[in-house]
Structure 1
Amino acid sequence: MFAHELTAAGLRGTHAEAAYAACGRYLRRHNSAAFPVARFLLPPGKRPHYDAMLAFCGYADDVLGTTEQSLRDRGERFDALRHETLRRIDTGAATTAGTGAGPVTAEAVQICRALAHTVRAWDMDPEGIRRFLRTLRTDLDTSSYPTFEDLELYMRSVSGDMSIWVNTLLEPVDEEATVKAIALGYGVHVLDFLHDIAEDAALGRVYLPLADLRRHGLSRDDLVAAAARRRMTAPLKRVVRFEADRVRRFFRLAEGWHRQVHPSGQELPRQYLELGRTVLAELTRDDYDVFRRRRSTRLLCRARAGGTTARSYLRTLRHRRAHPRRVPRSPGQGAGGDGPA
């Protein structure tokens, strides 16, 4: 995160400045795929808020996804994070978030502070944050989903709400923007499930709907065994192809999202969709073998992504000069208020 971005967001010299800086450090350290390239497609004043959203979601997922702690320890850490988040976003909601047993790290506190500041700056619905956290925690006790309808309920509160937060930051000009944002989030999420089959199975999770597995002659145990060997089977390949077609349908539904947000932010959703389709195309070229991500394939995907990002950035500069962008209001008390200390 750069000083001019904090200045453009009205954060320099405020109590919130350190919190947003912590989000940037977290994202750099974890080498997020969306950091730092995609953020440069946003106006400088919006980038710190984008970082806060990504850092919060990434941190929450890391708490649940580690294999170095027991389920109980992960649950306690997550409950503490949820308590800290809701305490800062909505004091009244904290009483329903549990006791928050267990400490939160200094880094987690800063990330929560930044998110709470972003929520108020952009008038985001706190219920979406509560729903996101409540649903994400089910990763600890839900190991599979019977049907796609069941999985969609999960995605609506995880990738769907995250997409709505980003859509708010992009300043939608049409209600259809929300529908398209959620569709893109769904498509990317299902694509992640496909690429993370082995990692999720190692954690005892199978996100692909069990009904879809049975339809293609595969059991849950068959999938787990294939993931452990990292070897594709004919039934598993049929399942991956089936889910990839579902991703394509979501991507088609997401077409045009960029035209339904403020011009200063149009290149971010355009690029997200382009990159999603690039990854899907590479999966198709690999004959739907999710365990065979060749180095040459990854480099080709990265090169294509870099080219499209460069073109998007040039278009972003033209949009930025032609269209003024919103400066979010300063939340809390005074210019530097950020809610509860």
Structure 2
Amino acid sequence: MEASHVACRRLTRRAAGNFFVSFLGLSRQRFRAMCALYAFLRLTDDIGDEPGWSLAEREQRLSCWREQLRIALRGVDIPVVEPFDVFPALVDAVSGFSIPEEELQAVIDGIAMDLQPRTYPTFDDLRVYCDRVAGAVGRCCLHIWGFHDPAALETAADCGLALQLTNILRDLGEDAAMGRVYLPQEDLARFGVSVDDLVAGRVDDRFRELMRFEVSRTREHYIASEDLFAQIDQPGRPVLRAMLRIYSGLLDRIERVDYDVFGRTIRVATWRKALIGVAALLGRS
């Protein structure tokens, strides 16, 4: 068990960057649970994005990953080798904080939706995907942090939606090149932007108007997410604050480059993320 927690902590420290700093303010049990959850999520995402595997290989590996999760949560011993060495720690977190198995499975469902190119006709269709890959993650976090208002589970959907929409806007060009167009087709049609425009990285007045609309809507979900601070217990607030500030900072960056998200890396500077993480850890604004 301890070896599994160590593996999760190492992966999280290496891959989570400054989020790892915000985890440090949690109790030992919550810290270990967050590292286990993060490690599981990171490895699940890696299966869906591994460029060296064919579609069939990714489908097979994701199916195996899903089955190993199910087996581990039933208390059956599995080989403790990478990447499955994260499961004992994850099972410990699920048991200790009553994390619903269906939320973990929902994340895998969301990654499965990414295996083949797809489009989303409406925003409601996109919400389903976002809830699986991000809303479910938020609800898992709530169980670790603690919450005293059942409405937090619903607010977590807004939070997850805000974070995932930010990812979508940041990675627009890269995703389009891989056949993944997450922006609702109804939005593209409304502003006269085609999929070919996205693939070509065409930035014109139509595209900027589309992006202004998308950024504005995403900010509305960040505002709705603020309700979570009154709904969750104190231990999770610094982590939540760091997440919201870092990701909303990406929207600020998108606006500063006049919505040209093509051919450039949209990110919050490492030093700024570090300051955000430390400030959140210390409980400062």
Q: TM-score, normalised by structure 2?
A: 0.90
User: Does the CA-based 8 Å contact 1:173-1:260 persist in structure 2?
Assistant: yes
Alpha-carbon shift at residue 142 of structure 1 (Å): 4.6
Choose which of 254, 277, 280 in structure 2 pairs with 1:309: 277
- 2:2 matches 1:23: no
User: Does the CA-based 8 Å contact 1:19-1:110 persist in structure 2?
Assistant: yes
User: Does the CA-based 8 Å contact 1:258-1:268 persist in structure 2?
Assistant: no
User: Does the CA-based 8 Å contact 2:134-2:164 persist in structure 1?
Assistant: yes
Aligned counterpart, 1:192: 167
Aligned counterpart, 1:282: 253
Alpha-carbon shift at residue 221 of structure 1 (Å): 2.4
User: Does the CA-based 8 Å contact 1:132-1:161 persist in structure 2?
Assistant: yes
Could you tell me how far apart the structure 2 residues matched to 1:178 and 1:43 are?
22
Aligned counterpart, 1:201: 176
Choose which of 210, 217, 231 in structure 1 pairs with 2:192: 217
User: Does the CA-based 8 Å contact 2:18-2:274 persist in structure 1?
Assistant: no
Could you tell me how far apart the structure 1 residues matched to 2:80 and 2:11 are?
13
Could you tell me how far apart the structure 1 residues matched to 2:13 and 2:234 are?
27
Residue aligned with 1:205, SS: coil
Residue aligned with 2:51, SS: coil
- 2:85 matches 1:110: yes
User: What is the correspondence of 1:253-264 to structure 2 with a 5 Å cutoff?
Assistant: 253-264=224-235
- 2:26 matches 1:42: yes
The more displaced of 50-59 and 141-150 is: 141-150
Alpha-carbon shift at residue 239 of structure 1 (Å): 2.1
User: What is the correspondence of 1:226-265 to structure 2 with a 5 Å cutoff?
Assistant: 226=201, 231-265=202-236
Choose which of 67, 87, 90 in structure 1 pairs with 2:51: 67
Identity of aligned residues (%): 29
Alpha-carbon shift at residue 64 of structure 1 (Å): 0.8
Could you tell me how far apart the structure 2 residues matched to 1:40 and 1:209 are?
38
User: Does the CA-based 8 Å contact 1:85-1:112 persist in structure 2?
Assistant: yes
Alpha-carbon shift at residue 41 of structure 1 (Å): 3.4
Q: Structure 1 residues 27, 187: closer, same or farther in 2, change over 3 A?
A: same
Specify the code of the residue in structure 1 equivalent to 2:283.
R
Choose which of 137, 140, 150 in structure 2 pairs with 1:162: 137
Aligned counterpart, 2:116: 141
Specify the code of the residue in structure 2 equivalent to 1:201.
A
User: Does the CA-based 8 Å contact 2:18-2:277 persist in structure 1?
Assistant: no
Could you tell me how far apart the structure 1 residues matched to 2:80 and 2:181 are?
30
Specify the code of the residue in structure 1 equivalent to 2:169.
L
Gaps of 5+ in 1: 1-15, 93-103, 317-341
User: Does the CA-based 8 Å contact 2:191-2:206 persist in structure 1?
Assistant: yes
Residue aligned with 2:114, SS: helix
Choose which of 266, 290, 294 in structure 1 pairs with 2:237: 266
Alignment coverage as a number of residue pairs: 283
Aligned counterpart, 1:76: 60
Alpha-carbon shift at residue 245 of structure 1 (Å): 0.9
User: Does the CA-based 8 Å contact 1:41-1:312 persist in structure 2?
Assistant: no
User: Does the CA-based 8 Å contact 1:159-1:189 persist in structure 2?
Assistant: yes
Aligned counterpart, 2:101: 126
Per-residue deviation, residues 133-166 of structure 1 (Å, max 9, x unmatched): 2232121135211111111111112211100001
Q: Structure 1 residues 273, 23: closer, same or farther in 2, change over 3 A?
A: same
Alpha-carbon shift at residue 197 of structure 1 (Å): 1.6
User: Does the CA-based 8 Å contact 2:55-2:115 persist in structure 1?
Assistant: yes
Alpha-carbon shift at residue 294 of structure 1 (Å): 6.8
Q: Structure 1 residues 308, 235: closer, same or farther in 2, change over 3 A?
A: same
Alpha-carbon shift at residue 25 of structure 1 (Å): 2.4
Per-residue deviation, residues 62-87 of structure 1 (Å, max 9, x unmatched): 11112211111111111111111111
Residue aligned with 2:118, SS: coil
Q: Structure 1 residues 311, 26: closer, same or farther in 2, change over 3 A?
A: closer
The more displaced of 135-144 and 52-61 is: 135-144
Tell me how large the CA RMSD over aligned residues is. 2.5
- 2:179 matches 1:179: no
Gaps of 5+ in 2: none
Q: TM-score, normalised by structure 1?
A: 0.76
Choose which of 16, 37, 46 in structure 2 pairs with 1:53: 37
Residue aligned with 1:36, SS: helix
Structure with max Cα Rg: 1
Residue aligned with 1:172, SS: coil
